[in-house]
Structure 1
Amino acid sequence: MKKWMTMALAALMLMSLLTACGSKDGGSDAETADVDLTAFYNGLAEEYHWSEDPETSEEGDLLMSTVEGEMLESYYPGLGDIATKQLVAKMPLMSSVVNEIVLVQCESEEDATEAASILQSRVDSQAEGGAWYPESMEAWSKGSVIQQGTYVAMIASAEYQSEIEEAFNAQFAK
């Protein structure tokens, strides 16, 4: 009888452990991940010496600007119409420098898919001549749009493309 009780308790404990490991809604890790996109961008800015303030920037810093309002609609037509929880859109002040980052958390995966399509259009447009300079077009051709559940990133960085892609994806690897 003791062996049977011990086996039953062990089985019950194992089932409770396995149940605790699953996600609540059966969704993907990206759906259950809670990523602060502003904090993620700020970490990139610190690591790669991006600044938004010419007064406090140091020599060698890349001056970045927030893309919003009419500029957001001009560069990413329709993105402003998508329901988002978070939106970080940054680009360098000098258009010949390829380092454009857009990070979005949408309300739904359908919205995220639409945002990814809009952002991919930007990458394609720049790579196919919109970036003007041959070196810039080549850098844009290596740009990427990554969707992780309701999160989307557009990364176009001549210097740090693969590092930023890996860092973004690492936010969802748990």
Structure 2
Amino acid sequence: MSKITETTIEADPKLPIIRMSRDFDATPDQLFRAHTDPELYARWVGPESLETRIEQWDARTGGSWRYVAVGDGAEYGFHGCFHEVRPDRIVQTFTYEGEPDGVALETIWFEDLGGGRTRLRAQSLVDSFEGREAWLRSGMETGVNEGYAKLERLIADGAV
């Protein structure tokens, strides 16, 4: 029997923040690796309809990244800087190049639940409530859920 896990996505009522949470049958180290290894990251991030091409990837404190999501003849660029990279937490900026003024500050935590399970928590602080609502309307929920479903398959297959 296959278990479908959805990501909890919540908008903070008082701050322009999006919070996400999802439990994985994986160790914190596996999830950290999936978020910092460019080859693994490209295999799972984003919706099923898009493929990811890593253009730049330096997953260390002070490093930067850029990738392009490709599908149906269109390309969507994203870039940012890694502000802090450590096994239990990643802090980075995130910019969709189609909306270059909309820089988000993201924090991802890997919380060990024991027994080979980990809760991934993420928080994205954007510049305004309007910007946050645009993110929520953009289809990000589909991309997040489909991407994390791909990650779960990679973990189950032993690729991570």
Q: Which has the higher strand share?
A: 2
Instruction: Please give the TM-score of this superposition, normalised by the length of structure 2.
Output: 0.39
Q: Which has the higher contact order (CA 8 A, sep 6+)?
A: 2
- Which of these two proteins has the greater Rg computed from alpha carbons? 1
